Amino acid sequence: MKKIIVFISILFILTLTACSGSQDDKAETTTIKIGAIPDQNAADLNRSMEDFAKDLGEKTGFKVEYVPSVDYSALVTAFERGEIQLAWFGGLTGVQARNLVPEAEAFAQRPIDEKFKSVFIAQSDLDIDSLEGLKGKSFTFGSESSTSGHLMPRYFMMEAGVDPDQELDGKPNYSGSHDKTYKLVESGAFQTGALNISVWEAAVKEGKVDETKVKVFYTTPEYFDYNWTVNKVDEETKAKLKEAILSMTSEDNEIMELLQTDKFIETKNENYEAIEKVAKELKIIK
């Protein structure tokens, strides 16, 4: 009888240990799906984000998966549905996402995102040196949901007295991404355009743009832009994600090089209220 009792006791202890282990394993394999607005070369972005996901997983103990998005609005929709737990948004898409998910929180950005700018470009042989000179010219924005490729350039054009829908040579085009914008102007498909200053500077540095064919003629004032926004998750998960991203350096993963930064700094939802105000004034969001 004693042997039976001892056997049952051992079996009970082993069962508890196994259950405890499975719970620990479950906690360690929390899945975090991340996304990013496809604002530049898709192959470069996908490779860099996959490397970032691997690094983030190692730092947090989570299973981190990168999920590519076909366009800006697809990422916002996936975030709203809870299919994406962490996203790299532009200022406008971040505002759109947080309006749909009020519990979401912007928590990190690059230092340059505190004082971001857009550049207006033109064919090199075009005599233009101001936004007013855009009147009567063909023009391309980036994505319709882009802060630096559409929202803020449109705002500054209108501030300068240029109506993009009435005073250009035809309706403005939407290229879909910053790299496509400078290529369209470089090729002669459009006389002028506007894009993210950091993408432009990287393209010039890497020799991806022919400066004998396209030039910058205007740089905008500063505004807040890109950010990491976390969806509705528990506080422990949120804390781990924040700590990991805010501790990253330029040596950690490829995304830092692609985003032209050596670190991320803290931010908050309130920093993007001006973006929301402009978007509402232009009736881009309600």
The CATH superfamily label for domain 26-114+224-272 reads Periplasmic binding protein-like II (3.40.190.10)
Supply the pLDDT for residue 26. 40
pLDDT higher than threshold 70 for residue 6: no
Supply the pLDDT for residue 223. 95
* Domain boundaries, given as residue ranges, for the chain: 26-114+224-272, 117-219
Identical fold between 26-114+224-272 and 117-219 = yes
Supply the pLDDT for residue 51. 94
pLDDT higher than threshold 70 for residue 25: no
Query: Mind listing the pLDDT tens digit for each residue in 82-123?
Result: 999 999 999 999 999 999 999 999 999 999 999 999 999 999
Query: Mind listing the pLDDT tens digit for each residue in 225-238?
Result: 999 999 999 999 99
pLDDT higher than threshold 90 for residue 33: yes
Please state the pTM of the whole predicted model: 0.81
pLDDT above 70 coverage of the chain, percent: 90
Query: Mind listing the pLDDT tens digit for each residue in 158-169?
Result: 999 999 999 999
pLDDT class of 1 with cuts at 50, 70, 90: low
DSSP string, the chain: -HHHHHHHHHHHHHHHHHHHHHHHHHHHT-EEEEEE---S-HHHHHHHHHHHHHHHHHHHSSEEEE---SSHHHHHHHHHTTS-SEEEE-HHHHHHHHHH-TT-EEEEE-GGGGGB-EEEEEETTS---SGGGGTTS-EEES-TT-IIIIIHHHHHHHHTT--TTTSSSSSPEE-SSHHHHHHHHHHTS-SEEEEEHHHHHHHHHTT-S-TTTEEEEEEPPPB---EEEE-S--HHHHHHHHHHHHT--TTT-HHHHHTT-S--EE--GGGGHHHHHHHHHTTS--
pLDDT above 90 coverage of the chain, percent: 85
pLDDT higher than threshold 60 for residue 12: no
Query: Mind listing the pLDDT tens digit for each residue in 206-254?
Result: 999 999 999 999 999 999 999 999 999 999 999 999 999 999 998 878 8
**Is domain 117-219 in CATH 3.40.190.10, yes or no?**
yes
